[in-house]
């Protein structure tokens, strides 16, 4: 049902302003004109607008400011990612739902996305603020054939994909803060959450969670994050079409995760380094057990951060919060 509506929208987008008659749509999709008319009415209720050119048919004139499946589908340029999209207005956490869907066998590239999360989360069960209609709150199910120890590298793969997509669509180039933040002028616009379903020697699924502040105004941010967060709109000065950005993220994510599986981390690592604001700086790394201070000198081919401590020894950091 949802996919037929998506197909209709796609058809009207591809028509590029040429009217298409109800009869023609009915013939193409093998349903009655009345059924087409009902779909059009439901699409209008969702925020799509059509001009009906007398006797000649429908022209699409507006799409809603949502990340619904129809809106994303019409911007998709992927082979496979995003061919299944699960969308709701409100979800507890796209991450929680993605875990269930992955367990039920959802294929690689399945996207879970919503307008608002009521229980969005970061690492270590921290809260992730997910204001309605302002951001991209989504999880993508990946099924790469890799060993569990390689999975943290996917955070870095996603960071590169996100950075490129954001730069393409907004014109603003974020920096990557190891391991899972994207920053613009020192403020966080994006957080990544990589979670696993794995056997001891094999990954069954990676649940790749991404939270992006897109169209927030400064006043939209909650008290707790107003000093540390920014949005693409604040940084670029323009309203961003979220569905287009989602499609671009899926495009790069598909390319870079395939490249990773085929060629390993190295080609992606050099891109990652070019966007990083961590490497070369003196930082403080807070791990679960300890605090280490030193100079971040690079990441290994496994994505492990190399920290040169003041006594000259080099410490590999697998997971931490970084501050300057
Ligand atoms: C992260 O955790 O940065 C990962 C965030 C992942 C969110 C996505 S949204 C879709 C999917 N579904 C979910 O439920 N989660 C994923 P971490 O590095 O632990 O950072 C969390 C910290 O970022 C919080 O403690 C706050 O300080 C800050 N924070 C919370 N909400 C924020 C926001 N909207 N923008 C910027 N910073 C925020």
For residue 131, pLDDT beyond 90: yes
Give 252 Cα–ligand 1 centroid separation in angstroms. 21
> Is 120 a pocket residue for ligand 1 (Cβ < 6 Å)?
yes
Give 16 Cα–ligand 1 centroid separation in angstroms. 38
Give 11 Cα–ligand 1 centroid separation in angstroms. 37
| Cα–Cα distance for residue pair 10/16, rounded to 1 Å | 10
Q: What is the mean pLDDT of residues 65-77?
A: 92
Q: What is the mean pLDDT of residues 86-114?
A: 98
Of 8-17, 169-178, 197-206, the one with minimum mean pLDDT is: 8-17
How is residue 23 written in tokens? 């009869």
| Cα–Cα distance for residue pair 12/6, rounded to 1 Å | 10
CA-closest candidate to residue 189, choices 219, 211, 208:
211
**pLDDT for res 1:** 44
Give 199 Cα–ligand 1 centroid separation in angstroms. 27
Q: What is the mean pLDDT of residues 301-311?
A: 93
> Is 129 a pocket residue for ligand 1 (Cβ < 6 Å)?
yes
- Whether residues 217 and 254 fall in one domain: yes
- Whether residues 186 and 294 fall in one domain: no
Give 275 Cα–ligand 1 centroid separation in angstroms. 20
Give 211 Cα–ligand 1 centroid separation in angstroms. 7
With cut-offs at 50, 70 and 90, classify the pLDDT of residue 6. Answer: confident
Give 107 Cα–ligand 1 centroid separation in angstroms. 25
- Whether residues 50 and 117 fall in one domain: no
Give 283 Cα–ligand 1 centroid separation in angstroms. 21
CATH number of the domain within which 51 lies:
1.10.10.10
Q: For 227-265, what is each residue's pLDDT tens digit?
A: 999 999 999 999 999 999 999 999 999 999 999 999 999
Domain boundary residue, one of 44, 62, 80: 62
Q: What is the mean pLDDT of residues 11-21?
A: 92
Domain boundary residue, one of 31, 47, 62: 62
Count of structural domains within the chain: 3
- Whether residues 123 and 250 fall in one domain: yes
CATH number of the domain within which 155 lies:
3.30.930.10
What is the DSSP-derived secondary structure letter of residue 172? -
CATH number of the domain within which 288 lies:
2.30.30.100
| Cα–Cα distance for residue pair 235/222, rounded to 1 Å | 18
Which residue owns the Cα nearest ligand 1 atom 29? Answer: 128
Bond into 179 cis (ω within 30): yes
Kindly give the number of the ligand 1 atom that is closest to the alpha carbon of 96.
14
- Whether residues 259 and 187 fall in one domain: yes
> Is 188 a pocket residue for ligand 1 (Cβ < 6 Å)?
yes
* Best mean pLDDT range from 5-9, 149-153, 234-238: 234-238
118, 188, 191, best to mutate for ligand 1 pocket (most atoms within 8 Å of CB): 191
| Cα–Cα distance for residue pair 143/146, rounded to 1 Å | 9
**pLDDT for res 281:** 95
- Whether residues 291 and 210 fall in one domain: no
Q: For 156-165, what is each residue's pLDDT tens digit?
A: 999 999 999 9
**pLDDT for res 2:** 55
**pLDDT for res 301:** 85
- Whether residues 18 and 107 fall in one domain: no
What is the DSSP-derived secondary structure letter of residue 267? H
- Its domain, for residue 237, covers 69-275
DSSP SS3 for 207: strand
- Whether residues 161 and 43 fall in one domain: no
- Whether residues 85 and 162 fall in one domain: yes
Phi/psi zone of residue 97: left (φ > 0), alpha (ψ -120 to 50 degrees), beta?
alpha
**pLDDT for res 302:** 82
> Is 215 a pocket residue for ligand 1 (Cβ < 6 Å)?
no
> Is 180 a pocket residue for ligand 1 (Cβ < 6 Å)?
yes
Which residue owns the Cα nearest ligand 1 atom 2? Answer: 122
Check if the beta carbon of residue 98 is closer than 8 Å to that of residue 141.
Answer: yes
How is residue 100 written in tokens? 């269930």
Q: For 76-95, what is each residue's pLDDT tens digit?
A: 999 999 999 999 999 999 99
- Whether residues 297 and 265 fall in one domain: no
Kindly give the number of the ligand 1 atom that is closest to the alpha carbon of 120.
14
In which residue are the tokens 């590999």 written? 316
- Whether residues 221 and 99 fall in one domain: yes
**pLDDT for res 253:** 98
Task: State the complex-level ipTM.
Answer: 0.99
Buried b (16+ CB within 10 A) or exposed e, 211-246: bbbbbbeeebbeeebeeebbbbbbbbeeebbbbbbb
Question: Using only C-alpha atoms, what is the Rg of the chain?
Answer: 22
- Whether residues 172 and 82 fall in one domain: yes
> Is 225 a pocket residue for ligand 1 (Cβ < 6 Å)?
yes
């Amino acid at each position: 049902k949802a996919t037929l509506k998506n197909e209709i929208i796609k058809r009207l987008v591809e028509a590029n302003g040429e009217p298409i008659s109800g009869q023609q749509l009915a013939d193409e999709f093998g349903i009655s004109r009345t059924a087409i008319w009902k779909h059009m009415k439901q699409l209008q209720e969702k925020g799509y607008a059509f001009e009906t050119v007398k006797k000649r048919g429908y022209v699409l004139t507006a799409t809603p400011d949502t990340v619904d499946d129809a809106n994303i589908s019409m911007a998709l340029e992927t082979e496979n990612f995003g061919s299944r999209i699960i969308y709701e207005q409100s979800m507890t956490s796209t991450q929680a739902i993605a875990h269930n869907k992955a367990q039920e066998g959802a294929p690689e590239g399945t996207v879970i996305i919503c307008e608002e999360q009521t229980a969005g989360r970061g690492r270590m069960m921290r809260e992730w603020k997910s204001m309605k209609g302002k951001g991209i709150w989504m999880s993508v199910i990946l099924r790469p054939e890799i060993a569990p120890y390689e999975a943290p590298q996917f955070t870095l793969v996603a960071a590169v994909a996100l950075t490129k997509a954001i730069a393409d669509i907004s014109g603003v180039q974020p920096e990557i803060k190891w391991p899972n933040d994207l920053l613009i002028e020192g403020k966080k616009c994006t957080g990544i959450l990589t979670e696993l379903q794995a056997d001891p020697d094999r990954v069954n699924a990676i649940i790749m969670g991404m939270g992006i502040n897109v169209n927030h105004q400064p006043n939209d941010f909650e008290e707790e994050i107003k000093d540390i967060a920014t949005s693409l709109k604040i940084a670029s000065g323009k309203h961003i079409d979220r569905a287009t950005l989602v499609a671009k993220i899926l495009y790069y994510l598909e390319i870079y995760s395939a490249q990773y599986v085929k060629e390993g981390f190295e080609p992606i690592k050099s891109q990652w380094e070019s966007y990083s604001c961590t490497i070369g700086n003196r930082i403080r790394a807070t791990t679960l057990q300890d605090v280490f201070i030193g100079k971040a000198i690079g990441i290994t081919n496994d994505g492990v951060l190399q920290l040169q401590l003041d006594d000259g020894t080099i410490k590999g950091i697998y997971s931490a919060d970084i501050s300057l």
